[in-house]
Structure 1
């Protein structure tokens, strides 16, 4: 069931992702066109404050023109180890440093056209400190109880996939 690339055209090379158009040979011998987004990947961190509430950030997302509540996250640099990126992003966005980062799961958000793989970690043993936001980052930190987080998913306030999956993971853990 593999698709073999016959032709490849680079459409766009950017800072965050590249776009290519591929003509592919299908398993039945026909050809088709695939428009693909190549991305280095990202990390996201499930972290809890001293009360056991989830640490989230609220930031404006230009792609859908509104504020979004999300777990801390960031993009991988080329060749960067995801666990190193997770530690850096947690510190930058929340000010917290983790004694340990435990890998929870990975996922592809849009595998039909995008190579972005998101690595989810849980931060353990947090120490508070100062945030170190990038120059183009503007966000506010918040915390959410599990009940509030589930409510915000149910009412459509939290729409970010990685955050929804993290909250569902948290909820399932509490049911065991």
Structure 2
């Protein structure tokens, strides 16, 4: 799917905000890079981060992003669903990833752990600690670059989780 399939009629889209766009773009590009073994995917993330932030902040953020995505891939009990780069929608897993990083930026450990549980598939019990530790590094780097995500309360994380685990991105979207 490409951006042309996304309706342009939505008046306010989540990805119109730079902090959320950076997280989702980075997640999508890194996941595609791992899934397809294509360096062009990581190059797309790098170019996007440089354009949005400049090379100094991009370099720091890309390191933290890649570490977080590696931990996420290693700790998940199921494949993650993400839309392709350029799509204007976000799916359930992308919402959970945003919720995790936003909660870590807000020092809301309870909500961060809730989002990490649902994102990783460890719904029963504790989520992997490495996922929140790596996420904290990325969340802090975003703050250092002046990129504060919108706060996401636990009630919103629970409503996102109600969509079920791992829907096909084509089935459920959020603007």
Q: TM-score, normalised by structure 1?
A: 0.28
Q: Which has the higher strand share?
A: 1
Q: TM-score, normalised by structure 2?
A: 0.28
